[in-house]
Structure 1
Amino acid sequence: MKRTSLSLSIMLSLFLPSLAHAEHDHDVKELEKVTVSGEAIQPLPQDDADLNLQALKSKRAASSDTASLLDGIPGVSLYGAGGVSSLPVISGLADDRLRIKVDGMDLISACANHMNPPLSYISPTNVSELKVYSGITPVSSGGDSIGGTIIVKSKQPEFAKDANSVLKKGEIGAFYRSNGDARGANLSATLATENFSLNYTGSTSKANNYDAADNFKPAGPAASDRGWLDGDEVGSTAYETRNHALNLGFKLDNHVLQLKLAHQDIPYQGFPNQRMDMTENRSNSINLIYNGLFDWGTVEASAYHEKTHHKMQFGDDKKFLYGVDALGMPMETEGSNTGLSLKTEVMLNQRDLLRVGTELQKYRLDDYWEASGSTGMMAPNTFENINNGQRDRYAIYTEWEADWTSKWTTLAGIRHETVKMDADNVQGYNTTNYNPTAFNNADKSKTDNNLDLSLLGRFTPSENASYEFGYAQKTRSPNLYERYAWSTNGMAMRMVNLAGDGNGYVGNVDLDPEVAHTISFTADWHDADKQDWNITFTPYISYVNDFIDAKRCSGQAGMMAVCTAANLTTTDNFVYLQYDNVSAKLYGADLSVAKHLYHDDKIGHISGQAVFNYVRGKNRDTGDNLYNIMPLNATFTLQHEKGAWHNTAEWQVVEAKDRVNHERNEQETAGYGLLNLRTSYEWKQARVDFGIDNVLDKAYSQPLSGAYTGQGATMGTSVPWGITVPGMGRSFYTALSYSF
């Protein structure tokens, strides 16, 4: 009995092509399929959203950031960051609060500013499957997170039809975007027999700084020792990235073994909301994956190892020379990530399905800053931010799914994780300005025993409706920076920032794990054939005990101290904070509507979609708003299809953000509306995309873009406060691809 996943909140900008009854010309090649879905429950049996790859390719043409492919899924938004490193948000929870798996690997950002998040390690052109589990996530897909789960898979191995044939295929593509002079190319090639498959995928992209729609600052030198920036040029937004992947597949009857090798090289990536820039990121990974189908069920197993060498320094738009001979501030991070996982599905009978699994992850991190200059603040020692940081996870789970009747299905699961963390003693640049004594004397060895629970049910009273409801307890332990970043020196604190808000942070060894209690309900109404219309409504609420927020530090005195009484009261400047546990509440609702509007053999098919998202986040201890919560927003999409021609008009509307986090002096943003247009045409072996983003050249700042620290003497305190990172102005783009 085959089980497929339940798609509750489908990305509507991609969904309507599957609703429309398009008649393709006979000479048009059948498009490759890709699974892109937003899901609340994976195991309950209902068809996935199986979508035409052309819709995904339209998004690839507009951005080199894999996280941007999630844009438009109900409940999902994006934190601003570098050009290929934005951070997804699900229902107000982001970054390490989400579980993000890339080809089965639990990747971890090895950076004090989280410049290399998991989704930055795979190119958009190499994505073949992308799933989002929001709301109640089953324990088999969750773990060490309190939000949803994002699963991304690269292209799977393809095999020849029989022993007498050989499969040879490939694709080459290129793109150009006018704003920022972005350009890039990609190549994929496959050679396969009936039982062996070899695939190579490579891509490269490069861009200059982009321009906002209007001046948001005075024109002038980016810094005293740097070049000129126009008033509308957004500093520190240039990037260059290269990705290579080799996938070997072996198939024998119902068993498939894959060996995936991947290499990433990012020579530079600017960050407009961080005080540092990425000046190198090299990552290598090896990933062994097994999938087997047996008479009694299935087995999935994987083993991986990933190593990252990450460097930060001041890029072309940030001051480089400090004092007499301090050439910037070199920062390096080395991360090592090894993992194992085993998952089995056993069909007990026609009603009951049992899932049992175990996972292990071993992570090591060294974060060190070499001395800069012969004297002064950054000499003579190497600053050790995290020395031999250790974070190991051991997990086991079981899950029971039962089809009680044709109308009732339930899912219950339990998961236990042991998270062990530790770090060695550290040192500062010198003993005058950096004193690690308290940290070195602290008990840094921590063991968390975390418990996850999930209980879900689905009721399908008719062919036009289904209703889902559930409860989950989810737990996340702190990351290494939240626990072990130790220095309260102002300059060192400003270099540790996971939020993009320009503030300085110090860790807290005594943090407790976050525990979220979530209740969610989803109503899904549709026509009987699921071809004409669909309405999905999902309200939810989460109470989080020991939510890891931040409070302003105090209690210091002296000329160099920053954790002072004044730090507690300032409302118009950057501040200094320490991570701290609080009680929090998040609640909201997502609404999606899709309708097939018109069909004519001459005109083609016209369909419409709308997605509405609302979320609130509160600190229950202080009454303050949680940081970086997206205001009410909506996306309206009108699509036209005729044969191989696809046209889309999209209007994004965002309410003004005036509910901000006062503890961080978070800045408000104005409301705005953006119009985007795109079109594509596909021949038998070729495809062309063309689009215009921000057609009306609207000046705006995305609510989650962060504070603008993209130019100037960013190591110090002279960066102007009160400027948000502006969005991109009008941009024309085109992409070409050819299959062979």
Structure 2
Amino acid sequence: MTSTESKPIMHRIAMQCLALAVLPATAFAQTAAQLPLITVTSTPSSLPWRTWLRDSDLTARRAATNDTASLLLGIPGLSVNAAGGASGLPQFDGLSDDNLNIQLDGMGLIASCPNHMNPVLSYASPSQVESITVYPGVVPVSVGGDAIGGAIDVKTNPPRFAPLGQTSIAGGEASGGYASNGNARSLGLGAYYGTHAFSIRYDGSITKADDYAAGGNFKTLTATGRPGVSLGRDVVGSTAYDVRNHNLGFAWKGSEQLLELGLGYQEVPYQLYPNQRMDMLGNTEKRVNLHWLRNFAWGSLDARVYHESVDHHMNFGNDKQYLYGTAPGMPMTTQSHTTGAKLKASLELSPQDVLRTGLDYQRYRLEDWWAPSGTGVMAPNAFLNVDDGRRDRVGLWAEWQTQLATSWQVLSGLRVEQVRTDAGPVHGYANSNGMGVMMNNQLRDANAFNASSRARTDTNVDASVLSRWTLGPTQDIELGLGHSERSPNLYQRYVWSTWSMAAVMNNFVGDGNGYIGSLNLKPEKATTLSAKFDWHAVDRAWAFSAQPFYTHVTDHIDAVQWNPATNAAAATLTKDKFVILQYVNQTARLYGLDLSGKMPLGASVIGQLGLQGLVNYTRGENTTTGDNLYAIMPLNTRLSLTQHLGDWNNALEWVLVKAKTQVSAMRNEIPTPGYGLLNLRASYAWKQARVDFGVENLLDKLYALPTGGAYVGQGTTMSLNGLPWGIAVPGPGRSVYARVSVKF
């Protein structure tokens, strides 16, 4: 596009400065990725400040994982915080979980579990994913809202319509995979039928695995707390899972409009967790997603309405003690309902200017209770963890995208949201405070919570300015300045019991500690400055990118050690043990640098060789206490040697991770040693079929996951310190895998 002569440039620049700023460098063209190669390109749409992973980029990654979050590995600044085998939590530049805006087919879903065992990405298996759009750092206001970090938008397989010249089309794909470590199995089936105006599609998957083994002995305990059941010293307990996902889609297309109806269903018989005291022993999720898109001469309207219901159950899995005195387990139930609506209008004001505006609405209801068990401390009533939890969010936004000059593009926007939360009165298992050494203060804590005003209303403001300069055919620069705000989730505000047994059941960071909510929490407020410097060949045969960032967070939600007896902050810190903490607002900063690049090494009789890699560095500090932020990925590097020969694509990857020594003293975070891994992968493709195979952790290295949390995967997990402190969750040892997919 060319600059317009009808509007003075300085006037247009002033109009851009109405908003504060957002989004650092995002789009990363043909970046280096975790093997095999992931090509990252800008999506052909009206929002260029992002990274787009297409179906062809994801195909090879699907063979090596059953966790959709792991499809993102290889994006600069991204890591995955380990959780269940199919429920990893992406981390961008030190921020993860609720700090990221993660959407599935345009739906803003919420993890409904005191351990966040059912995050958004767990509701789509890798075989169902068609594309992933990534906005590292802060994001444009049209995408963002209620988050202070990056955004991830996952799209499942879209409808297929018959092209011109054909009455109808039909087809699909069947796939199956196996990995030796953990005996992991997966099956996928997709089928579609379409005419010019109508399409129907089904995509289903089943994934199942046993506990995986580390690269060596990492513990001395073998007991599980169940008579006659033990685990080997190299077996990582509570890593088994069984997950089934189903999608059914209908679509109708006219000359200028599209109507889609998506139905989703998930059933999880079990998914065990090595860094949580409990396990998921049942999760049923149902969702309906109605989407309408209409093009007009002046632009377009995009509307979406969705509803999700979740029925979630937890207890102790097979690797954890089940019987405590007269109590057979600790049944925990969570039920939630989420209803959302979005309306977006795009107005093409001129060939250089696009104005977008929209309205978002989300209604969330949560019930979290623990049924009585036995005749001891978990009786005679149900324990109400969050009763009648409510979280309603309404947002209004507008953004302007303009081409100030041929090589200068700017996007600016403003979003205002209101978030209202509330919860009903609660009670414990018994209307008492316990007795003797069994004091649990259930009555004291419940009375204090019930006597408090629990309704909260937050007004949050996001603002953004993003700018991109094309300096020439080989150089691009992106700059972004943004401010974003996020209200606490219901568990952070309304979990009320200081009793250690109840508190350790409320933990979605996997550190083995117990957590108490705080009614006084304020929304987090983050301001981010970032840039991207991109050098590349004209045809992008070689490319190098540097992405520095700096984020300052006021009212950052961190935690302080808590003394349940006095119901106050602990006077002195307890070290080298699991502790009870309460959420508090403090101040934090995160900064770092992400480097990535690729280059060809030439062609020969053995094919085309290439080299690609990335380096990620993130530093997170609590500036109120001088402590380190929890679960920050240390300096890490991925280097890949790739080979392409005919229908063969092969790669050898070297992963290097520095020792994690900058840990959170408040949470007694466990340091981890540095390590290096070798991964080998290959694929061969025919016209209608493809085979992927490889070896993960080729040298069977024993290593600890820097953001995997504390190992509490076996034994007496209900007791705060009934397990040894100081064992980090290890990564998997050597695993040979293969996946076959056939199109029909």
TM norm structure 2: 0.93
1:705 is aligned to 2:708: yes
Within the candidate set 554, 558, 561, 1:549 is matched to: 558
Q: Give the root-mean-square deviation of aligned CA atoms.
A: 2.0
CA offsets 1:642-681 (integer angstroms, 9 cap, x no match)? 2221101111100000000000000100000110011011
Mapped pair 1:506 → 2:526: no
3-state DSSP of counterpart to 1:483: helix
Residue 412 of structure 2 corresponds to which residue in structure 1? Answer: 412
Amino acid at match of 2:415: R
Distance 2:737 2:490 in 1: 40
**Does the CA contact (< 8 Å) of 1:173 and 1:737 recur in 2?**
yes
**1:440 aligned counterpart, secondary structure:** helix
Alpha-carbon separation, structure 2, partners of 1:580 and 1:306: 30
SS of the counterpart of 2:405?
Answer: coil
2:466 is equivalent to residue 462 of structure 1: no
Corresponding residue number in structure 1 for 2:493? 483
Deviation at 1:51, TM superposition (A): 5.1
Partner of 2:13: none
Aligned to 2:672: 669
1:584-629 superposed Cα distances (whole Å, 9 cap, x missing partner): 10000101011122124x4322111111000001111110000000
Provide the residue aligned with 1:347 in structure 2: 348
Whole-angstrom distance in 2 between the partners of 1:11 and 1:240: 33
Q: Which residue of 1 aligns with 2:459?
A: 449
Counterpart residue number, 1:26:
none
CA distance in 1, matches of 2:106, 2:281: 28
Partner of 1:32: none
The residue matched to 1:432 in structure 2 has which SS? Answer: coil
User: How far off is 1:296 after superposition?
Assistant: 1.6
Percent identity over paired residues: 47
Aligned to 1:12: 32
Q: Which residue is 1:306 aligned to?
A: 308
Match of 2:167 among 160, 165, 168: 165
Map of 1:36-75 to 2, 5 A cutoff? 43-45=46-48, 53=56, 55-75=57-77
Alpha carbons of 1:564 and 1:629: their partners in 2 closer, same or farther (altered >3 Å)? closer
Structure-2 change in CA distance of 1:313 and 1:44 (3 Å) = closer
Matched to 1:627, the amino acid is Y
* 8 A Cα contact 1:136 1:520, kept in partner: no
Match of 1:154 in 2: 156
1:79-130 Cα shifts (integer Å, max 9, x gaps): 1100001100000000000000000100100000000011001111000010
Q: Distance in 2 between matches of 1:631 and 1:47?
A: 24
1:255 Cα offset (Å): 1.1
Asked if residue 439 in structure 1 is aligned to residue 440 in structure 2, the reply is no
Q: Secondary structure at the match of 2:350?
A: coil
- Deviation readout 1:342-361 (Å, 9 max, x if unpaired): 11211101221101011000
By how many angstroms is 1:192 displaced?
1.0
Structure 1 CA distance for aligned equivalents of residues 517 and 214 of structure 2: 35
Which residue number corresponds to residue 33 of structure 1?
none
Gaps of at least 5 residues in structure 2 are 3-24, 434-441
8 Å CA contact 1:551–1:579 kept in 2: the answer is yes
Distance (whole Å) between structure 2 residues aligned to residue 511 and residue 703 of structure 1? 28
CA gap of 1:258–1:240, structure 2 versus 1, over 3 A, is same
CA distance in 1, matches of 2:321, 2:569: 27
1:518 pairs with 515, 520, 528, which one?
Answer: 528
Is 1:714–2:717 an aligned residue pair?
yes
Q: State how 1:85-234 maps to structure 2 within 5 Å.
A: 85-162=87-164, 164-218=166-220, 220-225=222-227, 227-234=229-236
Cα pair 2:485 2:526 within 8 Å, conserved: yes
Does 1:527 find its partner at 2:537? Answer: yes
Q: Partners of 2:137 and 2:591 in 1: how far apart?
A: 11
Contact 1:14 1:56 in 2 (8 A): no
Q: Secondary structure at the match of 1:501?
A: coil
1:75 deviates by: 0.4
Residue 14 of structure 1 deviates from its aligned partner by 7.4
Tell me the CA shift for residue 184 of structure 1. 1.5
Deviation at 1:394, TM superposition (A): 0.1
Describe the superposition over 1:427-469 as per-residue Cα deviations: whole angstroms up to 9, x where unpaired.
1000223120000011110000000000111111211111111
Residue 234 of structure 2 aligns to a residue whose secondary structure is coil
- Between the two proteins, the alignment pairs up a number of residues equal to 711
| Match among 593, 599, 612 for residue 597 of structure 2 | 593
Shift, 1:293, TM fit: 2.2
Q: 1:540 & 1:618 partners in 2: Cα distance?
A: 14
Which residue is 1:27 aligned to?
A: none
Distance in 1 (CA, whole Å) between partners of 2:710 and 2:740 is: 36
Other-structure match for 1:427: 427
Letter in 2 for 1:275: R
Check conservation: 1:340, 1:359, Cα contact below 8 A: yes
Asked if the contact 2:590–2:620 (Cα under 8 Å) also holds between the matched residues in 1, the reply is: yes
Instruction: Give the 3-state SS of the residue equivalent to 1:587 in structure 2.
Output: strand
What CA distance in whole angstroms lies between the structure 2 residues aligned with 1:576 and 1:6?
38
Does 2:503 match 1:493? Answer: yes
CA distance in 2, matches of 1:415, 1:341: 14
Sort the Cα spacing of 1:425 and 1:643 in 2 relative to 1 into closer, same or farther, 3 A: same
Give the residue type in structure 2 aligned to 1:266: V
* Secondary structure in structure 2 of the residue aligned to 1:13: coil
Correspondence for 1:696: 699
Distance 1:226 1:133 in 2: 50
Does the 8 A contact of 2:127 with 2:205 survive in 1?
A: yes
Shift of 1:526: 0.8
User: TM-score, structure 1 length as denominator?
Assistant: 0.93
The residue type paired with residue 125 of structure 2 is S
Contact 1:594–1:607 under 8 Å retained in 2: yes
CA 489–45 in structure 1, closer or farther in 2 if over 3 Å, else same: closer
Any idea what SS the aligned residue of 1:69 has? helix
Report if aligned partners of 1:345, 1:353 keep a CA contact under 8 Å in 2. yes
Greater displacement, 414-423 / 160-169: 160-169
Equivalent residue, structure 2, for 1:382: 382
Between 179-188 and 591-600, the greater mean CA deviation after superposition: 591-600
1:136·1:519 contact (CA, 8 Å) conserved in 2?
no
Q: 1:686 offset after TM fit, Å?
A: 1.0
Aligned partner of residue 415 in structure 1, secondary structure: strand
- Distance in 1 separating the partners of 2:275 and 2:241: 14
Q: Deviations over 1:111-168 (max 9, x none)?
A: 0000001100111100001011013411111100000000000011110124752211
Aligned to 2:526, what secondary structure does the other structure show? strand
Change (3 A) 1:640 1:370: same
Over 3 Å counting, the alpha-carbon distance change for 1:411 and 1:226 in structure 2 is farther
- Equivalent residue letter for 1:391: R
Is residue 547 of structure 2 the alignment partner of residue 538 of structure 1?
yes
Q: Is the 8 A contact 2:51 2:134 kept in 1?
A: no
SS in 2 for 1:213: coil
Query: Within 2, Cα distance between the matches of 1:663 and 1:14?
Result: 33
1:583 aligns with 2:587: yes
Spell out, residue by residue over 1:522-556, the C-alpha distance to the aligned partner (whole angstroms, 9 max, x if none): 111111222x1111111010110000000111362
Secondary structure at 2:203 match in 1: strand
C-alpha change, 1:591 and 1:335, in structure 2 (3 Å) is same
Residues in 1 aligned to 2:36 and 2:227: alpha-carbon distance in whole angstroms: 52
User: Contact 1:539 / 1:590 at 8 angstroms: preserved in 2?
Assistant: yes
Structure number with higher relative contact order (C-alpha < 8 Å, ≥ 6 residues apart): 2
Structure 2 counterpart SS, 1:657? coil
TM-aligned CA distance change 1:50 to 1:370, over 3 Å:
closer
